[in-house]
Amino acid sequence: MTHIAKLQSLGLFDARVPRYTSYPAAPVFTGAVGAEFQAEAIRALDPAVPISVYIHVPFCERLCWFCACRTQGTQTLAPVEAYVGTLLQELKLVAAHLPKGVRMGRLHWGGGTPTILTPELIHRLAQAIKAVIPFAEHYEFSVEIDPMMVDEAKIRALSEEGMNRASIGIQDFTDIVQSAIGREQPFEATKACVDMLRHYGVHSLNTDLVYGLPHQNRESLAATIDKVLSLQPDRVAIFGYAHVPWMAKRQKLIDEAVLPNDMERHELANLAARLFTEGGFERIGIDHFARPEDSMAVASRNGKLRRNFQGYVDDECPTLLGIGASSISKFEQGYLQNTAATAAYIKQIEAGELPGYRGHRMTEADRLHGRAIEMIMCDFHLDMPALKARFGDAADDLLQRVAEAERQFAPFVSTEGGSLTIAPEGRALCRMIAKTFDAYETPGARYSQAS
């Protein structure tokens, strides 16, 4: 049996499993954990330990058809201005519970399209955040940027407020692919954006691509990657397109007949990995690449790579505080998601209430299983001695799952002393192997495909 045939026989092209950007996965969250938990967790923060902050801006001028994020379209600035006012109100509510002296090690603006904000709104929001949670000495401020929704004045404003990393969405530069996903973005506009960012001192650059898009083939993806390499990014993420029209209604605009099949998707992913590694990047986890000198590559080599709702990160802050509609916080005590619908979120904030509406309170068993899954997702290796050093004899509870993973995914995994290692040729199975260590069943949850 060939290598690909064996992967197929193990269910790679059929399985739908969590992406494990959290453990437990979001479908486990319940309404029993809400605003009261949120206030409790914020009050318990240690001022000596910097936190990460995520700001969600859900608005877009154009709604890309492939996107499954929580976003909404607008052709006027009025709802955006009103939303920023609500973010400022939420920050005041957080400040009422925040211990004095808490600092921000990381700040990330995501969306939606954060660059829909005018320079004036950029300054207003950034200064309000820093007034509540000032930057730590060594901070990172990253922003997701749409090259078609940014100009020099916006980049200047972001730079003045401390942005030092930019993440540019590209997806694919091929015209027919862009037309099929409702996202027109010429390479020339993207390069002009990159040039402006570098002019204003933002030299740390991430680019996001997607494989498995309609009309995409090996030749078109290779041409896109060649153009991306010419931009000289520090990091690249290339995600598999998740076709989930039952969840993201706009995806119904995409013709399923012109989507690559399962085998073609797998070939596209392998092609991208080869071209980026040949281009001087180190492979990070299942879908990221970084230049050897980049902090993410250093973290990966040193066993300090982590995984959260932004994907792979080198962020060592133990707390992620989410601000804005639908954003998710990670505390030592567990996870908390803000009210998802923008209108309901605004109503809750205007009533003077913290916006948390569902979450999960972590148990020690959750932390054990979560760390095991993070090891698999980040390092392709479950280190049993390290787990025993942290969790004691409780780590032995995983031994049966290690043996199960070895039986189910042979010959792509090996075990020794209770530790588990995924062979390079079996890393496409990573999420499926991680699922072996998931103690929760989520009937009715519909996840993206594993490949």
What angle do the packed helices 78-95 and 119-132 form, to 10 degrees?
10
Q: Which residues contact 285 (CB under 8 A, 6 or more apart)?
A: 300, 305, 307, 312, 377, 378, 430
- Residue with token string 């399985």: 15
Residues 350 and 86 sit within 8 Å (Cβ to Cβ)? yes
Q: Which helix (H) or strand (E) holds 286?
A: none
Q: What is the dihedral of CA 15, 21, 26, 29, to 10 degrees?
A: 130
Quick check: bond before 411 cis, omega within 30? yes
Among candidates 333, 351, 420, which has minimal Cα distance to 381?
420
Task: Compute the distance between CA of residue 24 and CA of residue 21 in angstroms, rounded to an integer.
Answer: 9
Q: What CA–CA distance (Å, rounded) separates 390 from 441?
A: 26
Between CA 26 and CA 82 the distance in angstroms is 28
Angle in degrees, 0-180, between the axes of helices 78-95 and 342-350, rounded to the nearest 10: 50
Q: Which of 147, 255, 250, 248 is nearest to 205 (CA)?
A: 147
pLDDT at 323: 98
CATH class of the domain comprising 27-328: alpha beta
DSSP β-bridge partners for residue 168: 145, 207
| Residue 68: per-residue pLDDT | 64
Q: pLDDT 10s digit of each residue in the chain, 451 long?
A: 577 888 888 889 888 899 999 999 999 999 999 999 999 999 999 999 999 999 999 998 877 777 766 677 778 999 999 999 999 999 999 999 999 999 999 999 999 899 999 999 999 999 999 999 999 999 999 999 999 999 999 999 999 999 999 999 999 999 999 999 989 999 999 999 999 999 999 989 999 999 999 999 999 999 999 999 999 999 999 999 887 777 778 888 888 899 999 899 999 999 999 999 999 999 999 999 999 999 999 999 999 999 998 899 999 999 999 999 999 999 999 999 999 999 999 999 999 999 999 999 999 999 999 999 999 999 999 999 999 999 999 999 999 999 999 999 999 999 999 999 999 999 999 999 999 999 998 888 878 888 8
| DSSP-assigned beta bridge partners for residue 361 | 334
* Strand 419-422 to 413-416 pairing: antiparallel
Residues in binding site for [4Fe-4S] cluster = 60, 64, 67
Is there a contact between 81 and 113 (Cβ–Cβ < 8 Å)?
no
As annotated, the binding site includes 54, 60, 64, 66-68, 111-113, 144, 171, 183, 208, 242, 328
Residue 148, burial from CB neighbour count under 10 angstroms (0-12, 13-18, 19+): middle
Query: Rounded to whole angstroms, how far apart are CA atoms 140 and 109?
Result: 11
As annotated, the binding site for S-adenosyl-L-methionine includes 54, 66-68, 111-113, 144, 171, 183, 208, 242, 328
Which amino acid appears at position 415 of this protein?
T
Query: What is the dotted CATH code of the domain comprising 363-438?
Result: 1.10.10.920
Parallel/antiparallel/unpaired status of strands 419-422 and 381-382: antiparallel
Strands 165-171 and 288-290: unpaired
Predicted confidence at residue 70, as pLDDT, reads 67
H/E segment holding residue 321: strand 320-323
CA-CA-CA-CA dihedral for 347, 352, 357, 362, to nearest 10: 160
Give 101: exposed, middle or buried? Use CB within 10 Å, 0-12, 13-18, 19+.
Answer: exposed
* Burial readout 262-271 (b: 16 or more C-beta within 10 A, e: otherwise): eeebbbbbeb
Map out the domains of the chain as residue ranges: 27-328, 363-438
DSSP lists the bridge partners of residue 381 as 421
The answer, as to whether pTM is greater than 0.85, is yes
In order, the DSSP letters of 362-410 are --HHHHHHHHHHHHHHHHSEE-HHHHHHHHGGGGGGGHHHHHHHHHHHT
Alpha carbons 24 and 368: distance in angstroms, whole number: 11
- Dihedral over alpha carbons 374, 379, 381, 387 (to 10 degrees): -50
